[in-house]
Amino acid sequence: MTPGRVSPRLSHNAMRHWNERLIEAVLFLAAALSVLTTLGIVYILVSESIHFFARISIVDFLTDTQWTPLFDDAHFGIMVLVSGTLVSSLVALLVAIPVGTTIAIYLSEFAGSRVREIAKPILELLGGIPTIVYGYFALLVVTPILQVLLPNLPGFSLLSAGFVMGIMIVPYIASLSEDAMRAVPMSLREGAYAMGSSRLYTAIHVVIPAALSGLAASYVLAVSRAVGETMILAVAAGMQPNLTWNPMEPAATITSYIVQVALGDLPHGSIGYQTIFAAGLTLLLITLMFNIVGQWLRAKYKENY
């Protein structure tokens, strides 16, 4: 071959070139679609919220202790809804993190392969149950049982809704945490066993520290699920806006307020209509905050095995 000339096998093939370009374009569009959707949602939330904040000051929004947007004496204190969201999420996490992590330790470190093969799909099936079913389960089964233990518990409460939300989240935490723990290399476990440690000691002192970033990620996902959960709270927590940090009380959350108001026929452009977007934006910011914390945790405890 003379120098300076490309082999015919490597030379420019116009047809293949266009095919590649086409495929690239299709893939780019698919990726762009999800980004654009997200941007669109954010745009709508922000632009409608701007109208809202033109009428209601942001200070009132953050400090008012009542949320009565549809009354004549309207108040717009978002903390009322935020408190319900945070309390119910906290209850859910107090249930889901210990239970989910324990299940993950069992499946990853103790269960034989046969048990794991049966248990894990069943667990994941639990994550596929519609949340409305969980909602009625909370209202009709869990609340009466809790009322036996806690006679003061009202028929609707953040406690029973949060508790059932925790049960709903358990499979996510268990499944993701188990993946993270199983990804810890066997050589690390062998090193621990060779030092004479038991299974539980190995799991707690070697496997969990090694899998910490994955565990943190699963917890953050759980927080996002809890904060964004709607149906269980709408059904079982009661929908009255109530600024409380007491899980024994009924209260509305950001999500249950949105579903309640969005079902009514609010005139477009009314202040009631705009509260939906202000509340939605608040929800988005809370979830965003947890996601940033999650990213930070991931980076801080990245796998160092």
Residues that bind other proteins (CB under 8 A): 112-113, 185, 187-198, 201, 205-206, 209-210, 212, 304-305
- Nearest approach in angstroms of CB 107 to other proteins is 16
The CA distance from 200 to 205, in Å, is 8
Strand partners, 76: 67
Separation CA 71–CA 53 (nearest Å) = 18
d(CA 98, CA 262): 35
Min CB(108)–other proteins separation in Å: 14
| Helix H or strand E segment including 245 | none
Q: How far is the CB of 195 from other proteins (least distance, A)?
A: 4
Instruction: Rank residues 87 and 210 by Cβ distance to other proteins and give the closer one.
Output: 210
**Minimum distance from residue 223 beta carbon to other proteins (Å):** 24
Radius of gyration from C-alpha coordinates of the chain: 25
* Alpha helix positions (H), the chain: 14-55, 58-63, 79-105, 113-126, 131-137, 143-149, 158-182, 186-194, 199-202, 208-210, 212-228, 231-236, 254-263, 271-300
Pick between residue 188 and residue 261 the one whose CB is nearest to other proteins.
188
State the nearest-atom distance from the C-beta of 191 to other proteins, in Å. Answer: 4
- The nearer residue to other proteins, 168 or 184, going by C-beta atoms, is 184
Which residues, listed in sequence order, are joined to residue 139 by a DSSP beta bridge?
A: none
What is the sign of the dihedral through the CA atoms of 6, 8, 9 and 12? Answer: positive
Residues paired with residue 67 on neighbouring β-strands, in sequence order:
76
Q: How far is the CB of 218 from other proteins (least distance, A)?
A: 18
Cα 263–Cα 264–Cα 269 angle in degrees, nearest 5: 110
The pair phi, psi for residue 10, each rounded to 5°, is -100, 0
Q: Give min distance, CB of 302 to other proteins, in A.
A: 10
Nearest distance in Å: CB 124, other proteins = 24
Amino acid at 165: M
Nearer to other proteins, 28 or 305 (CB): 305
Nearer to other proteins (CB atom), residue 78 or residue 208 = 208
Token pair in block for residue 149:
């233990």
Q: Based on CB atoms, which residue is closest to other proteins, 204 or 266?
A: 204
Nearer to other proteins, 14 or 194 (CB): 194
CB 81 within 8 A of CB 67: yes
Instruction: For other proteins, give the closer residue by CB, 99 or 111.
Output: 111
